[in-house]
Structure formats: structure tokens, C-alpha cells
């Protein structure tokens, strides 16, 4: 495994980007800004290696970008209703940054911080220490995100966290995938399969109502492989609210601490590339890049357009702190938050 690194200036300080290349020439690029994925370059059916994650031309352009491209949002990924959080009877008012709700930990969050980085033999370990009261969350929190790249083109992300006060944590990676190549246009012709028979119904502000709704006979049914774009324009309330898919599915067979090896399968018929995503997390937020237009310039010198990538975000349920019926995202002193996400690339 070959590892190299390069630094770039930014308004937040120096950003370090690590490149890890395996024996076949497939590689990943990982950034200390937001512990982010900037590049995953893997072969297509003809052996051509290309980047398949949406990427900006300038590593500093990831700062405060709307799409949260490739980064780890936190302290709580996804939405918390009206920024209302209560832990052990104490109420905390989180920063509002998505309509009337708190999203991805707040305006700055973990995604717009430079993490400490330690090079590993086949990856990078990123560490971030979040102070008590940061974005109005309780407790000092230490987060470790460890990425490892394998010889058979599997990227594994292990995320752990500890806190000195009761708090809440929900962490994921927010990479967007286009298996035809990062700058090749729409992903609506990609096919997707999700091993989930239920999804979280949402209100008009995209907060879960608490109902685990059956996917059967709805556009949310991806239990059998189908094109992402097949039903995306259907007259279905949840799709109308989000201008496409931006919803959380309930992973079939989930149990706390159990690794599910294949929750989502994404395929690109043109390139023949296949991505299988597994995790220990109870849910997966699928976001079809409905608001990508106007993002910073990509490596082709253009801005991405809506639906140019799909984010597959393994995570706890949105608004779980306000929904006691959902799997708990609470973290207490003496406990460890520990989750794994696995991205396995192949061809068909």
C-alpha cells in the first residue's frame, strides 16, 4: 500500500489530503477537513480507473458547502426537530440551520473543522475533540474516524466516540457516488437495491413522524433492484417535499452491534461498477443530490447539477432524541459509541 500526502491552505488553517493506493492502482483520498472522502478511484468493467465520488477542484472549497460533500457531519447527522434536545431532563436549544430544524450538528458542525490526522499502514485515523457547549450540545466529546483501504477495493470506516457528560451522537459519511465517474452527469439511470421493508414517514419539514411505514406499493420500495429515477418524479407526498429522495430507510435485520454486510447495492449499467454498502447502523438516509446545483466547481471546472450523485448515509434515525420509540442515540460517560460503515467496490 502506497501512502502520500499533500497540504493545502484554507481559511481554517492547513488541510492535509492523504492518498492511499493499493497494488492494483485503485486509490482513495482522505481529507483532514471534516475527516472527508475526496476521491475513490476504482476500475470499471474494462479496467479503467476513475474517481466515483463527487469532488471539488479545490480542497478548501469543502468548507461550509451546502452539500456537505464527502465529510462526516456531527455531532448529530441529519435533522433534530426545532433544535430541541433534552438529556436527563435538561433542555438544550441547538443552533437552527435547516428551516426550523437543526441539521448535521449545526452551521459549523464536525464537517467544517480540521481534524487531527495519523497515518496508518493502510489508511488514516482522524480525531476531533468537541468541547462541551459546542453548537449547544452537552459534554466534551472525543471522536475517532478510522478509514482503511484494502487490496480488494473495500473502504472501511470505523467511527467511535466517548463523552464526559450524557449527550447524543449520530455520525456517518456524506459522500456522493456516481459510478460512471464523478463528473459524468445524472445518476438517475443507476440501479439501486435497499434491504429495507420500512421507511420513516416525514412531515413537511422532513422530520420523522414516528411511523415506520411499509415501502410496499410505494415509490420507496427498493427491495428489488430498480432505477433510481424510476419513481423519483411520482406524485408522492414525501418525494414532493424533498424534490426527490431524502429519506431514511429502516435496515432489515438490524440489531445493536450487528454488522449487516449488504444493505444497499448501487450499480451503474454503463461502467459496470458496483458498490455494496454495509453497516452496524439502524438506518440509511438516501439523498439523491436534489439541491446540488450551485455547488463549488468540480474537477471538470463546472458546478454539479441536481441528481449528479447519490449519498448513501448509514446512520441512526433522524430526530431520535425526541422519539423514544426509535433506537437511542444517547451516549453516557463510560460508554463508547462504535459504528462501522463498509463501501465495497467491484464490477459486474
Examine the residue annotation and report whether 313 is marked as an active-site residue of this protein: yes
Quote the CA–CA distance of 62 and 64 in Å, as a whole number. 6
CB 104 within 8 A of CB 74: yes
Residue 265: CB partners within 8 Å, gap ≥ 6?
192, 193, 225, 274, 275, 276, 277
Nearest to 161 by CA among 316, 40, 14: 316
Measured between alpha carbons, how far is residue 120 from residues 185, 191, 206 in Å? 34, 34, 39
Which of 50, 134, 146, 313 is catalytic? The answer is 313
Alpha-carbon distance of 201 to 197, in angstroms, equals 13
Alpha carbons 247 and 241: distance in angstroms, whole number: 10
Instruction: Check 174, 216, 305, 330 and give the catalytic one.
Output: 174
β-pairing verdict for 273-279 and 337-347: antiparallel
- Distance in angstroms (rounded) separating the CA atoms of residues 9 and 20: 21
- To the query of whether residue 174 is one of the catalytic residues in this protein, the response is yes
Q: Phi and psi (nearest 5°) for 311?
A: -90, 135
Which residues are registered as beta bridge partners of 262?
none
Positive or negative torsion for Cα 181, 182, 187, 192: positive
Decide if 260 contacts 278 (C-beta within 8 A): yes
Alpha-carbon distances, residue 267 vs 44, 55, 304, 347 (angstroms) = 11, 20, 20, 9
Which of the residues are catalytic?
174, 313
Amino acid at each position: 500500500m502506497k501512502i502520500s500526502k499533500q497540504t493545502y491552505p484554507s481559511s481554517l488553517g492547513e488541510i492535509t489530503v492523504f492518498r492511499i493506493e493499493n497494488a492494483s492502482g485503485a486509490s482513495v483520498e482522505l481529507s483532514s477537513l471534516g475527516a472527508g472522502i475526496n476521491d475513490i478511484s476504482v476500475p470499471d468493467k474494462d479496467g479503467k480507473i476513475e474517481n466515483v465520488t463527487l469532488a471539488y477542484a479545490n480542497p478548501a472549497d469543502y468548507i461550509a458547502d451546502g452539500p456537505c460533500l464527502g465529510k462526516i457531519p456531527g455531532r448529530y447527522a441529519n435533522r433534530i426537530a426545532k433544535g430541541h434536545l433534552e438529556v436527563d431532563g435538561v433542555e438544550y436549544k441547538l443552533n437552527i440551520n435547516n428551516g426550523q430544524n437543526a441539521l448535521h450538528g449545526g452551521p459549523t458542525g464536525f464537517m467544517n473543522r480540521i481534524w487531527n490526522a495519523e497515518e496508518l499502514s493502510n489508511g488514516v485515523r482522524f480525531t476531533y475533540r468537541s468541547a462541551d457547549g459546542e453548537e449547544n450540545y452537552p459534554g466534551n466529546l472525543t471522536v475517532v474516524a478510522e478509514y482503511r483501504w484494502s487490496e480488494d477495493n473495500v473502504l472501511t470506516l470505523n467511527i467511535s466516540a466517548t463523552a464526559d457528560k450524557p449527550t447524543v451522537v449520530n455520525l456517518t459519511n456524506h459522500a456522493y457516488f456516481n459510478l460512471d465517474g464523478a463528473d459524468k452527469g445524472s445518476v438517475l439511470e443507476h440501479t439501486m437495491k435497499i434491504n429495507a421493508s420500512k421507511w420513516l414517514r416525514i412531515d413537511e419539514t422532513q422530520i420523522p413522524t414516528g411511523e415506520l411505514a411499509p415501502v410496499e406499493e410505494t415509490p420507496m420500495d427498493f427491495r428489488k433492484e430498480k432505477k433510481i429515477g424510476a419513481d423519483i418524479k411520482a406524485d408522492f407526498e414525501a418525494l414532493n417535499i424533498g424534490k426527490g429522495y431524502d429519506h431514511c430507510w429502516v435496515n432489515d435485520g438490524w440489531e445493536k452491534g450487528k454488522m449487516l454486510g449488504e444493505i444497499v447495492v448501487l450499480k451503474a449499467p454503463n461502467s459496470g461498477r458496483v458498490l455494496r454498502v454495509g453497516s452496524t447502523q439502524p438506518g440509511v438516509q438516501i439523498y439523491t443530490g436534489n439541491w446540488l446545483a450551485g455547488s463549488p466547481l468540480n474537477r471538470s471546472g463546472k458546478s454539479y447539477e441536481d441528481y449528479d450523485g447519490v449519498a448513501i448515509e448509514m446512520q441512526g434515525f433522524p430526530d431520535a432524541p425526541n422519539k423514544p420509540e426509535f433506537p437511542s442515540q444517547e451516549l453516557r460517560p463510560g460508554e463508547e459509541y462504535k459504528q462501522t460503515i463498509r463501501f465495497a467496490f467491484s464490477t459486474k
